[in-house]
Amino acid sequence: MGRTLSQLWSDQSGQGMAEYGILTALIAIAALVAVRTLGETLRQKFQELSESLNSVRATSN
């Protein structure tokens, strides 16, 4: 029993796949956060641009 537990404890097969899975999940979370942040910023900038164009159009008429 002790020998089996020792072998299981020192067996590292499959460890690399788990690490790749964790790394992939962290990259996906970072990408989602970046897209949400940039999306909100871009939405605000386009809203400001639209308002500026509307005010220019209103003053030129």
pLDDT, tens digit (0-9, with 9 covering 90-100), for 25-60: 999 999 999 999 999 899 999 999 999 999 888 787
Which pLDDT belongs to residue 18? Answer: 81
Q: Which domain holds residue 46?
A: 16-60
Tell me, yes or no, whether 9 lies in a domain. Answer: no
Q: Which residue has the higher pLDDT, 27 or 4?
A: 27
Phi/psi region, residue 14 (left: phi>0; alpha: psi -120 to 50; beta: rest), is left
The pLDDT of residue 6 is above 80: no
Domains held by the chain: number: 1
Would you say residue 43 lies in a domain? Answer: yes
pLDDT for 11 equals: 66
Residue 12's pLDDT is what? 66
Report which DSSP code applies to 1.
Answer: -
Can you give the pTM of this predicted structure? 0.52
